[in-house]
Amino acid sequence: MKYRNLANTGEKLSAIGLGCMGMSFAYGPVDDTESIATLHKALDLGINFWDTADMYGFGGNEKLISQVLVPNRDKIFIATKFGFRLKEDNSGTYFDGSPAYLKTAVEASLKRLKIDTIDLYYAHRIDPSVPVEDMVGAMAELVQQGKVRYLGLSEASPSSIRRAHAVHPITALQSEYSLLTRDVEGEILPLCRELNITFVPYSPLARGLVTATVSNTSELADDDFRRTLPRFHDEHWQNNQNLVKEFADFANTKNSTPAQLALAWVLAQGDDIIPIPGTKKRKYLEENAAAVDIQLTSTDLENIEALLAKYPNVGQRYSDGSMKLVNN
């Protein structure tokens, strides 16, 4: 494994981290035994940057991770997030970025993870009803109390990032970024570089779309949330299948899998970028980890851009409802 610096903290994190959401949430049936084996395999591979959130399995993912985290605490840099809450009637979630809720959320995460300090604590979104200064001010108090080491934001706008950073240094910004989702290249990435904030792409494999492993949406489990995403439907689906086929052919010329090439592309966008592809299976973890050894030439990158330009109708990354929670 290769390692990258986390902002100016001195922390060395694996160039490819591990997104743990799918082990407990959103992507069909869970298999705790395989998930635990995958976490142990991550340690074997030198993947020390693990990402979870209190909403993944509504606490279940943090509890699952704790089984491997606690006996290996010194080997793992753990990130979790707060903010999404379950409605009282269980009909869905809403976001609460208030300082009052934050205080209860962090205690609950610490208890589930069975640790004293969270390495990186993210606000999962920006709450439009709470001044970002108030939220980050309350998060900064957790640092002073020793409950959290570093602060992060997720899916925040340039304005929110600047305002937050003025209150307390923001160490990492987590937002979606992949071959198919490149909004952050306009303002977000340059701002992160200006403020020395590490950028952490989630869904760097476009939720599995660019891996050429999903040939038909009917293969997805009934509760797989990708069934709700525009990219897996109608004209976007056909466009993306054509794109993925050509991308897989190109990956073959590089002696890599489509997933490895997609991750290598993300890694090539800057040394201050640390993607966290999610998986719940050892075989995919090993495949993803090998992407750090793929070197892409300028010609390779140009060829990939040309390929993407041929198939522009990729579709929106979320449903309309979910997009409303992205802080633009």
| Positions marked active-site | 56
| Euclidean distance between CA atoms 197 and 211, whole angstroms | 28
| Euclidean distance between CA atoms 24 and 30, whole angstroms | 6
Cα angle: 53, vertex 197, 288; to 5 degrees:
55
| Euclidean distance between CA atoms 285 and 279, whole angstroms | 6
Report residue 69: phi and psi, to 5°: -65, -50
Q: How far is CA 271 from CA 44, 54, 101, 142, 267, in A?
A: 23, 29, 35, 29, 7
| Euclidean distance between CA atoms 213 and 198, whole angstroms | 30
